[in-house]
Amino acid sequence: MIELYYEIGSTINELIEVYHLKTSQNEIIKSFLEKLTKEFATGFSVLSLKKMKKFYQVFQRGSTLWNQLSWSRNRLIINIDNEIKRNFYLEESIKSNWSIRQLEKQINSFYYERLLSTSEIIKKK
């Protein structure tokens, strides 16, 4: 499913690149949603398609570790703007086998920043 979502994100991105001068991004996504709904019935929404587009954009040139995580975990990680930080959470989530709740807790408790500051303190000593 993760690879399907990545491909859907890629398709949306391509459609927006082709039609952005004639049609707004929201209209393109709504039109694509109608097409998906006709072909596959329900299960998609404008919001989910926007997340798939962002998912593709975040990982199109970067890490391929995303395919080892669930969609829920990836949805959390794509909201991290800093690529190094995002890759840290990707790798750590896989290595430590974090649940979605554990991942969310680590992100919200600034685990990456705390680890970074600890290593900076150790370097100064």
Domain count, the chain: 2
Cα angle: 16, vertex 21, 25; to 5 degrees: 40
Q: Residue 125 has what pLDDT?
A: 53
> pLDDT (tens digit, 9 = 90+) per residue, 6-46?
999 999 999 999 988 888 999 999 999 999 888 887 778 99
Average pLDDT over every residue of 109-113: 96
Structural contact between residues 11 and 52, judged by C-beta atoms closer than 8 angstroms: no
Q: Tell me: do 52 and 6 sit in the same domain.
A: yes
Domain that holds residue 47: 1-61
Q: Tell me: do 72 and 122 sit in the same domain.
A: yes
Q: Tell me: do 79 and 50 sit in the same domain.
A: no
3-state secondary structure 9-61: HHHHHHHHHHHCCCCCHHHHHHHHHHHHHHHHCCCCCHHHHHHHHHHHHHHCC
Q: Tell me: do 89 and 33 sit in the same domain.
A: no
* Euclidean distance between CA atoms 120 and 125, whole angstroms: 9
Q: Residue 10 has what pLDDT?
A: 95
> pLDDT (tens digit, 9 = 90+) per residue, 55-104?
999 998 766 788 899 999 999 999 999 999 999 999 999 999 999 999 99
